[in-house]
Amino acid sequence: MAVYFLVKGKQKTEGKIIINGAKNSAVALLPAALLTEETVKIDNLPQITDIDKLLNIIRLLGASVSSPGDHSLSINGANVNSFSPSGLLVNQLRASYYLMGSLLGRFGRVEIPMPGGCDLGPRPIDQHIKGFSAMGAKVEMDHGLMKVFAKELRGAHIYLDLVSVGATINIMLAAVKAEGKTIIENAAREPEIVDVANFLNAMGAQVRGAGTDVIKIKGVKKLHAVEYSVIPDRIEAGTFMIAAAATGGDLVVEGVIPKHLEPVTAKLKEVGVEVETGPDYLRVVGREKISPCDVKTFPYPGFPTDLQPHMVVLLTKAPGISLVTENVFERRFCHIDELRKMGAQITLEGRTAIIEGGSELSSASLKAMDLRGGAAFIIAALMANGETVINDVKYIDRGYERIEERFQEVGVSVQRIEEK
């Protein structure tokens, strides 16, 4: 069955939107829940397909998972009896790599194929492995299956060669129940890392320094039950902020932690968009005309790579030249070719997109190729003349909860069409 979005152009996002829980935090909290035999309740979980897939993997490992209520569910990992997650499912999402840290932490053993996920260029996991090895684990590759095992995981001093969200969290998961102290230097500082550390600490772990580039973890014998609420999704929030800026709308993005969105707020102000910051909301008032600007993606607190495609779309509206440089992923520019179909004047030089903005986008038939790029196409379609079709919405559904309904809430027409 073909499923696509049909988006009416020349529409403004207006009103108010309440932001869901953070995907990139939630996908780490579920595997982390397996570190205890007691029941863990997680609230404010986004209802996205990456979470559905992860829950299926966790169920197959033997955990019992309550049927999801309104954005909350309980997991009990007492009966987890396998350290070998289903290869077929693991291949479908990147975040399945967190099962390495959690199963290694729980059983001292995990067998798992390389994780899947969006194609953003090479996505090695050497830093995860470096961390596990430093803690005394042996790592072997056997016909595409990675086998990691340790008689006893011991705390270690680990210096990451590069800043990696996944490696930082994975090492934390392996270390919370290891013998002795682990220090992660050059750790990533993303808010989702702080959220995972808070979750683990609420279960009785001793993690200090999350949110800085040195994280210290003192291993404990046992973790216990917890009820925990996921932080708001700064990328979903940023998506709607940029949509308001791009469509000249007036939108209140509510239920956010404004500090997490400072890099986005700063760029929107730089191009001339008005952003009002409240205690838990951001109001974005777009303008007909905006100025060009340069954007460079970096690990937090730099401008997030996950909002790079959206920013490229916004800057097609700014008369003049804007440069967008992607420093985090090597090949995160597959949205550019599709945007060219809409008449966007963009050339690529290495890791930099050169955008000659100012001319109107026209409708086209597009194909989503990754999660964030796909969402950015919705913004482009709202700016364009005419009706745009976005195919392969399965990529968008991985990380945005019913995005078409969310856009409808803010007054624009994005329809999901299911063709038999």
Give yes or no for residue 100 binding ligand UD1 (CB under 6 A).
no
Q: In the bound complex, what is the minimum distance in angstroms from residue 204's beta carbon to ligand UD1? A: 24
Q: Which of 160, 55, 145 is nearest to 100 (CA)?
A: 145
Element (H, E) at 167: helix 165-175
Q: Which of 246, 252, 296 is nearest to 271 (CA)?
A: 246
Give yes or no for residue 164 binding ligand UD1 (CB under 6 A).
yes
Residue 391 neighbours by CB under 8 Å, 6+ apart: 2, 4, 365, 366, 367, 368
DSSP label of 279: S
Per-position DSSP letters for 349-402, written without gaps between them:
ETTEEEEEE-SPPB--EEE--SHHHHHHHHHHHHHSBSEEEEE-THHHHTTSTT
Single residue of 36, 127, 265, 322 touching ligand UD1 by CB under 6 A: 127
Residue 261 neighbours by CB under 8 Å, 6+ apart: 234, 237, 238, 241, 282
Positions marked catalytic: 118
End-to-end CA distance of the chain: 5
Q: In the bound complex, what is the minimum distance in angstroms from residue 326's beta carbon to ligand UD1? A: 10
Alpha helices in 281-370 (DSSP H): 308-315, 335-341
Residues 318-357 touching ligand UD1, rule: CB under 6 A, are 328-329
Give yes or no for residue 165 binding ligand UD1 (CB under 6 A).
yes
Q: In the bound complex, what is the minimum distance in angstroms from residue 196's beta carbon to ligand UD1? A: 10
- Binding marks (x or -) toward ligand UD1, 58..97, rule CB under 6 A? ------------------------------------xx--
Per CB under 6 A, the segment of 123-131, 220-228, 264-272, 316-324 that binds ligand UD1 is: 123-131
Residues 170-209 touching ligand UD1, rule: CB under 6 A, are 188
- Cα 108 to Cα 95, 104, 195, 279: the distances in Å are 20, 4, 24, 43
Q: In the bound complex, what is the minimum distance in angstroms from residue 398's beta carbon to ligand UD1? A: 10
Element (H, E) at 263: helix 262-270
Give yes or no for residue 24 binding ligand UD1 (CB under 6 A).
yes
Per CB under 6 A, the segment of 164-172, 178-186, 242-250, 340-348 that binds ligand UD1 is: 164-172
Per CB under 6 A, the segment of 32-40, 126-134, 147-155, 252-260 that binds ligand UD1 is: 126-134
Burial of 13 (0-12, 13-18, 19+ CB in 10 A): buried
- 12 or 53: whose CB is closer to ligand UD1? 53
> Among positive and negative, which fits the CA dihedral 393, 398, 401, 407?
negative
- Binding marks (x or -) toward ligand UD1, 230..259, rule CB under 6 A? ------------------------------
Which residue's beta carbon is nearest to the bound ligand UD1?
A: 166
- 369 or 389: whose CB is closer to ligand UD1? 369
| 162 alpha carbon, distance to own chain's centre | 19
Single residue of 12, 53, 106, 123 touching ligand UD1 by CB under 6 A: 123
Q: In the bound complex, what is the minimum distance in angstroms from residue 413's beta carbon to ligand UD1? A: 28
Lookup: tokens for 190: 């993303």
Give yes or no for residue 3 binding ligand UD1 (CB under 6 A).
no
- Cα 144 to Cα 99, 121, 140, 141, 355: the distances in Å are 17, 19, 10, 6, 41
Single residue of 85, 108, 166, 258 touching ligand UD1 by CB under 6 A: 166
Q: In the bound complex, what is the minimum distance in angstroms from residue 173's beta carbon to ligand UD1? A: 13
CA distance 7 to 349: 31
CA distance 190 to 172: 14
- Binding marks (x or -) toward ligand UD1, 282..321, rule CB under 6 A? -----------------------xx---------------
- 4 or 329: whose CB is closer to ligand UD1? 329
- 272 or 301: whose CB is closer to ligand UD1? 301
Per CB under 6 A, the segment of 157-165, 193-201, 202-210, 258-266 that binds ligand UD1 is: 157-165
Neighbour tally for 392: CB within 10 Å? 17
- 169 or 205: whose CB is closer to ligand UD1? 169
Give yes or no for residue 390 binding ligand UD1 (CB under 6 A).
no
> Is the bond preceding residue 309 a cis peptide, omega within 30 degrees?
no
Per-position DSSP letters for 131-164, written without gaps between them:
HHHHTT-EEEEETTEEEEE-SS-B--EEE-SS--
The residues that touch ligand UD1, with contacts defined as CB under 6 A, are: 24, 27, 94-95, 122-128, 162, 164-167, 188, 305-306, 328-329
